[in-house]
Structure formats: C-alpha cells, structure tokens
Amino acid sequence: MPVSIKSAQDIEGMRVAGRLASEVLDHLAPQIRPGMTTEAIDKICHDFMVNVQQTIPAPLNYCPPGYSPYPKSVCTSVNHQVCHGIPGSKVLKAGDVVNVDITVIKDGYHGDTSRMFYVGAPSIAAKRLCEVTHECLWRGIEQVSPGRSLGDIGHAIQQHAEAAGYSVVREFCGHGIGKVFHEEPQVLHYGKPGTGLKLQAGMTFTIEPMINAGRPEIRELADGWTIVTKDHSLSAQWEHTILVTETGFEVLTVSVGSPDWERTRQSLATG
C-alpha cells in the first residue's frame, strides 16, 4: 500500500487531533501517584476524552487481525512492560515508571502520543533510561525532512540508545497515521543512514522508540497484548506524531504540558 500524502485539510485535522491527544496526558500528569491503579489511569483518560474533549479513544475495542479486541481506552506499561499494557488492578508504587499511550480520534483524524511518568521519586537508573529514551525520540525527529530516509531516523535512535548502553526493541515500530490508525510506512527505530523510504512533504507518521535497559528480547503475556522484556529489565518509550514539512518537520502532538519538547529539540539541534 502506498504512503499517503496528506492534504492541507488533512494536516489541519491532524493538528487538532494531535493537540487533543497530548492534552489528555497534560490532564493526567498531576494525578499520577503511588497507590493508584492502572485502571484508574484509564478511567481518568477515558472520561476526559469522551466527556470533555468529545473525542473517541482509538484503542478501545481495536482489533487488528490475529488479536482479540483491546478492552481499554489507553495503554499503561509499567516498569519492564514494553508496550500495550492493559490497565487493570495493578497498584502503582513509589519508584515505578509507567508509559501511558494515548490515541484519540477527532473528526475522523487520529492523534497518537505517549509519555513516561514517574510514580513518586524514580531510581537513578529508571530516570536515566527515561531521559535517554526521550532524547532518542528527538534524535529521530531531528532527522525528518524531505529527501532524508527512514533509515536516517532509525540510525539516529539506535546510535544514541546503544551509546548509552541500552538496546532497541525491534519487533515494534512507528507507523503512518491519519484517518487510519496504522498505515504505511513502518518507521523502524534502528537502521542504516540513507536506506529505506525517502521522506516527502505531507507524510505523517509516529516515531515511538522502545528502549530497554537490558537486552532487546521481548515476550508477550497471556492476555495477548502486553509485551514485556524477556530479561525483566526496565523499558521506556516516548511517542510523537510527526508531519514532514517542505523544510523539515512539525510535531503534531504538542500541548502546553509537553515535557521540555522545545528545549530538547533546540539542544539536540545544536548538538
């Protein structure tokens, strides 16, 4: 399937959806605390999406081929959970780190983003992993401009992660997005410079590196969704939806509470 080039109308719709997705995380951030369940996180996000934003939670009942319908409105991946953690009765404790992955649908357009949250004070090791993973995300974003390649994005992420002593999960990747939740292209978080699809203005896709403190191997839990590190090491992930512009990139999933995104972008751009 060819990669879709978005129209000006599409892009404006995705700006709105992207901002709304990020605002769900802004709303959630001050409420994360020890003693709450991941089910409570899901309820906070669901109620805000449906009742305040009038958006649709894209994950709820999402059912790709070979899967059972996803039963919740967000994904909550705690500590060694890599992605797609299903909210439930798990109680968060001080020192945990949790990724909350949000996708909203507004007027037919998808906005997809995730952040890492600290539950109380994190360990030095967990904080460093989360910070380096955030840097990996931005190292990848900085590669986006017309004429560059997907391999440039993956290489920048892989190089930064491995230089810090971490590993890149290879089984999951970023993806094209628009009126369809998951479309072409697949955006790998590892690779060689100059390889893969050449970027064109109007492309929209996610970059969402999953970085492990230990080895890259993963396994799926019995629920059919939750992915964990095979060696039980910590994992972290950050995600943004990106537009390729005529001169570079635009991050579509930003809001007032987006963590240091402008400062991080500028500092990485200047090396």
pLDDT tens digit at each of 271 positions of the chain = 789 999 999 999 999 999 999 999 999 999 999 999 999 999 999 999 999 999 999 999 999 998 999 999 999 999 999 999 999 999 999 999 999 999 999 999 999 999 999 999 999 999 999 999 999 999 999 999 999 999 999 999 999 999 999 999 999 999 999 999 999 999 999 999 999 999 999 999 999 999 999 999 999 999 999 999 999 999 999 999 999 999 999 999 999 998 765 666 566 565 5
d(CA 1, CA 200): 16
Query: Is residue 238 in a domain?
Result: yes
User: Is the residue at 2 inside a domain?
Assistant: no
Examine residue 196 and state whether it is found in any structural domain, yes or no.
Answer: yes
Beta bridge mates, 57 = 104
Angle subtended at Cα 209 by Cα 122 and Cα 200, rounded to the nearest 5 degrees: 145
Q: Which of 81, 83, 82, 59 is closest to 71 using CA atoms? A: 59
* Separation CA 45–CA 24 (nearest Å): 6
**CA–CA separation, 140 vs 144, rounded Å?**
7
- Is residue 18 in a domain? yes
pLDDT value for 98: 98
In a domain, 3, yes or no: no
Closest by CA position to 162, among listed 136, 197, 181, 192: 136
**Is the four-CA dihedral 111, 43, 96, 214 of positive or negative sign?**
negative
Sign of CA dihedral 172, 149, 244, 27: positive
Q: What pTM was computed for the model? A: 0.95
Instruction: Tell whether 179 is covered by a domain.
Output: yes
Cα 262 to chain centroid distance, Å, stands at 17
Instruction: Give the structural domain span for 16.
Output: 8-269
Q: Please tell me the total count of domains within the chain.
A: 1
**Which CATH number characterizes residue 133's domain?**
3.90.230.10
